[in-house]
Structure 1
Amino acid sequence: MHSLQNPITQRPPSSYRGRFAPSPSGLLHFGSLVAALGSYLQAKSMQGKWLVRIEDIDKPREMPGADQAILTTLDAYGLHWDEQVLYQSQQAPLYYDVLAYLKNQEQSYYCQCSRSQIKKTGGIYLGTCKTLNLNAENCATRLINVFPFAEFKDGIQGKVAVDKALASEDFIIHRRDGLFAYQLAVVIDDAVQGITEVVRGCDLLEPTARQLTLFKALSLTAPSYVHLPLAVTEQGYKLSKQNAAPAINNQHPQPALIHALHFLGQNPDNDLEFESVETIINWAIQHWQLNNIPKHREIML
């Protein structure tokens, strides 16, 4: 044991590298546009690179053709990526290597507990299977959480605290159904792509703590984090594919771009709506102020 080398080759820190990482479970909506635009403008205002990653590891939730539709929409909105699009589904060999490495380092174990069983004990996993030495059959894989992060600093939200019990539980990195857990895939890909800062929505504040834990467990340098306010409806629902949020208009992007800039506190000139997409994006890069973004977790539309 302990002889296996860490299979991740982390790209050395360089200039700013940001990313937008949608899942192809539906078309881009206004909430997606806010995340894409915010991450793009932050990268470009730093003269950095902006990457696009398609997070397609949950095949049952995918919508056929959504990946290409997402890329078409980003192009229509003037959000052009700088390197080849990375598909998480093509990363499976590396994910398996990392799982083998963690097992070899005695940093993970197999777990047969169901969600309903965990719910009965209060909803926090209590390490029931840690000492059972189960085999992989019909089991999930959990990380032994040696480095819990109950709080972290966010570029907009400031000091973020998460539930300590939840932050310290041994969380799943490979699901019982054979799918890779989001936490595992996103950490590996952020490391491999050399992402220096993650700009995304506040719905991912809590998972950030687990991602920081996994970065530490793998002896990797974590990026910094900026979590943008979520767009929510009057009923309090966040705009999402699951909630059937309407797709944004590829044929006439200017109104949605201007709306997204206002949402992000950037106060674009009123007459910009009648300009080209390129003109709007160039204005937004030149005038981008992270400090102007409202320090809220949610903003009602």
Structure 2
Amino acid sequence: MISNIQRFCIHDGSGIRTTVFFKGCPLRCAWCANPETQHTCAELMIYHARCGQCQTCISACPAHALSLNGGNIQVDTSQCTLCKLCVKACPNRAISIKGEVLCAQEILDIVRRDKPFYQTSGGGMTLSGGEPLYQPELALELLVLAKKYNIHTCIETSLACSFSVVEKVLPFLDEIYFDLKHTNNTKHKAGTGISNTQILDNIEHLLKQRPDARMRIPVIPGFNDTEKDILEICRALKEFPISSVELMWFHNLGNPKYSALAREYPYTHISPFSDIDKKKIKDNYQANGIVVIHS
């Protein structure tokens, strides 16, 4: 199940890339910017800011799953069959369905369209999500096919899976980015819904086999941005053969997606970091012996 295939990406690895967003993730990060990738099933999204309340979608729905309530179109997910008739009927493109079943060859046929751009920029295909290794068979098949077509490969992963899954894809990966949310297990559970024990073990195993893999730390207000948090993280990092990290700054650009999915977003009223705050956080990392790159 794929959420989206985004072409001409420049932040998901080297060069110009096509990023394949997998649907499904074992984590439930409270700050997640792509909530539409969390579940493995297809989902209807209604962007209320675009809606003109013409109710054309309501008339088009054969399952009577849509209604106007409190000035907004709402969906009864127990009735919705994801037939896409409302999507086609909406004149403002306010409705979309995220989630499509595609085989590896179908995905690669899309990825291959931009191969000339990959060759001139050093880019290629990136597997992201969600968590691409949550669908290990599809991820592996995609990577094998990409190498068959001489396409550079990259993955963005939380490493929240069995390391046997990671080992299978390593031979077919040119570039690896992995996240570390927090080294404190209690905080990690509170922020993501799962323990970090397996993740930390996987980081250790991964860096032994692929010391070129790059660590990214999402910096989240109130979760891992204090001096105490940074000190704890840096002390733990010294157990790994790692001297630099990339900091991924919190943003709330995913807020409209939560509304479109009729979900609450815990960080709605939390502001992004100021430049002064960013400098202070970077300085804290570097004062503790960790070099910050590309932030």
TM-score by length of 1: 0.26
Higher relative contact order (CA 8 A, sep 6+): 1
TM-score by length of 2: 0.27
- Between structures 1 and 2, the one with greater strand share: 2
